[in-house]
Amino acid sequence: MTEQPTLDAEQIADLFTRDGDYLCARWERPVAPVIFGLADESLDIFRAALRAAYAHAGHPLADTDPEMGANLMMFFCKDWDELNEIPDLEKLSGQPDLIERLKRTDADHYQIFRFDPDGSIRACLSFVRMGGGFENVHPAVLAETLAMRSMLSFAKDITATEPLSRVIRAAYDPVMPASARDASHAMRLAARME
């Protein structure tokens, strides 16, 4: 990660604001990750990045989630048509036109969050096209970035930086709510980073 100045409340609010609506949600339940589509040597890098990122936030990983088995699923492919091989993709994603939409927008990464009744993250589905803009990104950098993207309900794609890791750690402080829809929450995050 590159060293950068601390983010202020306005910059933090922007990270979680989409179409004028603020949402910052974190996991409450332990995260049970599973990764599909990577070679063994890359798989080890991504597993290590997930362990490090969640340990940094003080949040546990688990082998399984009692309700879903895996609740963080990462799917890697060379091109989006490979997602047709995933059984029940439409049911899993809840989006019948997902593949066509990803191809039409020329996306490299797409993430879907599901939420528990308290607003905390229940599940995260992460789809990554390795043949696109990520093709020449070092696996460790990509692993760290994708791990961080899975930790909070960011409204936009982020790249791993030290200031963002501090935002994540602040959001996982036990005194902070698991989910917030008021942008004043960003001020509380900024205060915890000082």
**83-133 tens-digit pLDDT:** 999 999 999 999 999 999 999 999 999 999 999 999 999 999 999 999 778
Round the average pLDDT of the chain to a whole number and report it: 94
Task: Give, in order, the Cα–Cα distances in Å from 32 to each of 137, 150, 163, 170.
Answer: 25, 12, 26, 22
Same domain as 108, residue 36? yes
Whether the pLDDT of residue 1 is over 90: the answer is no
Residue 4 pLDDT level (bands cut at 50, 70, 90): low
- 165 burial (CB, 10 Å; 0-12 / 13-18 / 19+) is middle
CATH of the domain at 133: 3.30.379
Encoded amino acid at 62, one letter: A
Give mean pLDDT, residues 22-50: 96
Ramachandran region, residue 129 (left: φ > 0; alpha: ψ -120 to 50; beta: rest): beta
Burial of 121 (0-12, 13-18, 19+ CB in 10 A): buried
Residues 128 and 141 in one domain: yes
Q: How many domains does the chain have?
A: 2
Given this model, what pLDDT does residue 194 score? Answer: 75
Residues 35 and 115 in one domain: yes
Same domain (yes/no): 22, 36: no
**Per-residue confidence at 5, pLDDT binned at 50, 70, 90?**
confident
Q: What is the DSSP string of 64-96?
A: -BTTTB-SEEEEEESSGGGGGGSTTHHHHHS-T
Same structural domain for residues 85 and 22? Answer: no
* Domain of 189, in residue numbers: 1-26+155-194
pLDDT band at 2 (very low <50, low <70, confident <90, very high): very low
Regarding whether 33 and 15 lie in a shared domain, the answer is no
- State mean pLDDT over 156-163: 93
Please tell me whether residues 111 and 180 are part of one structural domain. Answer: no
